[in-house]
Amino acid sequence: MKILILGAGQVGASVAEVLTSEANDITIVDQNRESLAALGDRYDVRTVAGNAAYPSVLREAGIEDTDLLVAVTQSDQTNLVACKIARSMFGVPTRIARLRSDDFLDGDLLSPENFAVDHAISPAQDITDYIVKLIAFPEALQVLEFADGKVTLIGVRAYQGGLLVGKPIRAMREHLPAVIDARIAAIFREYQPVELDGNTVIEPDDEVFVLAATGHIRTVMQELRRMQQPVRRVMIVGGGNIGARVAAALEASYQVKLIERDQGRAEIVAGQLAATLVLHGDATDEKLMAEENIDEMDMFLALTNDDEDNIMAALLAKRLGCKRVLALINRRAYADMVQHSAIDIGLSPAQVSIGSLLAYVRRGDVVRVHSLRRGAAEALELVVHGDRNTSKVVGRRIDELPVIKGARIGAIVRRSSEPEVVAKDGFLVDEYVDFVLIPHHDTVIESGDHVVVFCTRKRQVAEVERLFQVSAGFL
C-alpha cells in the first residue's frame, strides 16, 4: 500500500514506525527538516520538506497514486485542506485527519462535499476515554474494548499471592463460576512474550492480558490481582486540552481536583468545569501537594504537555502516599525509562490514538485494532466472511487452522441465529442477540463472527490478515 503521512511529530512518527515494518511504501511530509531527517535515518521512508496544504508539495510527495492519506500535522486547518485537495484534485481513495478542535468534528463538515475526511482522529478524546476506563479498573495497566464493548481485554501485573500466581493457566477454569469463561491471551515476562499452553505457570510481576465478556471481567481479574477499593478521589495536573476533558468526564462521578500552573488558564478551566476544584500552583511543589492531601487521593493523573514535569509530579505524588499514579509521556525513551518504576502507568498519547487509524490500514475486514505495549503487540477484531470454499477459516475448528506462532484467538462474538425475547425500554421484543464465546480447540468459526486475535509480535499481524481474507471469488 502506498501511504502518504503529513506531519513528522509524535503521531506521524508512531504511524511510520508501525507501517514501515509491513512492507508499505511510505512518504512523510513536514516543514521541519530536522524531524524528517531523524525519521529518514530511523525508518525506510521517503521524506519531502514543505507545507502539506500545498498541492505542489503533495504532488512532489507522489499523491497521484497514493492509496491512503494520513494527515496528522499540528494544524487542524492544514489537515482538513490536505484531505480536500487529496480527494478533489488527486482522487485519493482514503483520507484520515487528526483534529484537535471539537469545532471541526462535525459529520456535515467532514462529508465528501466539504472537507472529504473519511475518518477523523481526536487524540484528546481518545486519551480521555482511555483514562476513564483505567479509573474504572484501577488495578489494570490497560483496558481495551472490542465488539462495541461486549468484550474487554485487560492487562494486569500478577502479584505474589494471587490465586493463579505459581499455578498453570489451566487452573483458572477451576476458580471461575461455571457460567464465566475467559482466556489468557498473552503473558509478557521481563519484556518478552511467553509461549503459552495450559501448563504455562504465571509468575509474580508477569504482565498478563486477559479476554472475557465485559460483564465478567472483574470476576476474572480477581484471579490475578488484589482488588483495590473503587476510585473516589482524583487529582489531575494540567489544565490543557486533555486535562480539562478528563476532569469534565470525571467530575460527575468522582471528587476531582485539578492543578494548573498558568493562572490565566486556571481561571478559564475553572469557568468551564462545574464540580472540579481548580487550583493555581505547581504539582512538583511538595508543600502544595501535602496541603491538598495527596496521600488521600486514589488516582493521580499528570497530563501536562511536558514529559519531565509529568514524570516528576507522578513520582512525587507516589512518594507522598498516592495509591496509583499515571503520567502522560510522549517521548519513547522516557516511557521505557519509567517501566517498572514507581509510576504505575506511563501513557503514550500516540499509541492510544493509533489504534483507530490502523483499522483503516489493515487488510481484510478489520473493524478494531489496539496497539499494545507501546506498539510491540497488537489485538485485532476481524469480521469473518465467506464459506468453506472462499474462506480459510469458515466452517473449520480452531484446531484445524494453520498455526501462527504468537497469535491466539481470544474471543468470538456471534449473533444468534434466531430472534430472542429481550426487555427493551420496558417492553418485551424479539431481537437478534450477540453473545460472547471464549473458543476452545473444537469451536467452529462461522461466517459473520467477530473474532478477536492477540498478536504478541507485530510481524504476525500480516499472517493473521491473510488467514482471514476471503478468496477473489467471494462476492
Among 62, 93, 121, give the residue marking a domain's end.
Answer: 121
Residue 460 falls inside a structural domain: yes
- In angstroms, rounded to a whole number, what is the distance separating the alpha carbons of residues 8 and 30? 6
φ, ψ dihedrals at 398, nearest 5°: -55, -40
Region 144-157 average pLDDT: 89
pLDDT given at position 299: 95
pLDDT value at 281 more than 90 = yes
Does residue 40 have a pLDDT over 60?
yes
Of 352, 372, 400, the position where a domain reaches its end is 352
* Of 2 and 461, the one with more pLDDT: 2
In a domain, 158, yes or no: no
Position 228 scores a pLDDT of 64
At residue 340, the pLDDT reads: 65
Residues listed for the chain: 475
Same domain as 403, residue 319: no
pLDDT-based confidence at residue 339 (cuts at 50, 70, 90): low
Hey, how many other C-beta atoms are within 10 angstroms of the C-beta on 253? Answer: 14
Q: Mind listing the pLDDT tens digit for each residue in 422-449?
A: 777 777 777 888 889 999 899 999 999 9
Backbone angles phi, psi at 236, to 5 degrees: -115, 135
Whole-number Å distance between alpha carbons of 49 and 31: 5
Specify the residue for cell string 487550583: 279
The model's pLDDT over 222-276, given as tens digits with 9 standing for 90+, comes to 776 665 678 999 999 999 999 999 999 999 999 999 999 999 999 999 999 999 9
Yes or no: say if 227 and 206 are a contact pair by the CB < 8 Å rule.
no
Residue 77 covered by a domain: yes
Q: Which residue, chain included where needed, has cell 514524570?
A: 311
- What pLDDT score does 422 carry? 74
Q: What are the residues whose beta carbons fall under 8 Å from the beta carbon of 447, sequence distance 6 or more?
A: 384, 385, 386, 387, 391, 394
Pairing of strands 450-455, 277-280: unpaired
- In one-letter notation, the amino acid at residue 67 is D
Taking the C-alpha atoms of residue 449 and residue 384, their distance in angstroms, rounded to an integer, is 5
Instruction: Report which secondary-structure segment, H or E, holds 393.
Output: none
Q: Which domain holds residue 12?
A: 2-121
Is residue 148 in a domain? Answer: no
Examine the fold and report which residue of 121, 151, 184 is the final residue of a domain before the chain moves on.
121
| 320 lies in the same domain as 404 | no
451: phi then psi, degrees, rounded to nearest 5: -110, 125
The percent of residues above 70 in pLDDT, for the chain, comes to 95
Average the pLDDT over each of 31-35, 59-63, 388-392, 417-421 and give the range with the smallest value.
Answer: 417-421
pLDDT, position 237: 97
CB 329 within 8 A of CB 264: no
Number of independent structural domains in the chain: 3
Domain assignment of residue 362, yes or no: yes
Same domain, 305 and 365: no
CA angle 411, 140, 464 (to 5 degrees): 30
259: Cα within 13 Å, side-chain hemisphere: 24
* pLDDT number for residue 423: 75
C-beta neighbour count of 377 within 10 angstroms: 23
**Can you give the pTM of this predicted structure?**
0.84
Q: What is the mean pLDDT of residues 327-338?
A: 79
Mean pLDDT score of the chain, rounded to an integer?
88
What is the identity of the amino acid at 223?
A: E
**Strands of the sheet with 151-157, listed across from one edge:** 142-146, 151-157, 207-213, 182-189, 192-193
pLDDT band at 21 (very low <50, low <70, confident <90, very high): low
Q: Does 266 reside within a domain?
A: yes
Residue 356 in this model has a pLDDT that exceeds 80: no
Model pLDDT for residues 199-210, shown as the tens digit of each residue: 899 998 888 899
More confident residue, 371 or 216: 216
- The pLDDT of residue 341 is 74
Task: Check whether 472 has a pLDDT greater than 70.
Answer: no
| Residue 474 pLDDT exceeds 80 | no
CB distance 452 to 369 below 8 Å: no
Residue 37 lies in a domain: yes
CATH number for the domain spanning 279: value is 3.40.50.720
Q: Does pLDDT of 119 surpass 80?
A: yes
Q: Which of 187-201, 398-412, 438-452 has the lowest mean pLDDT?
A: 187-201
CB-based contacts of 157, cutoff 8 Å, min separation 6: 141, 205, 206, 207, 208, 225
pLDDT of residue 225: 63
Are residues 360 and 253 both part of a single domain? no
The reply to whether 315 and 399 lie within a common domain is: no
The reply to whether 115 falls in a domain is yes
Please tell me which residue, 151 or 197, carries the higher pLDDT value.
151
Per-residue pLDDT at 304 exceeds 90: yes
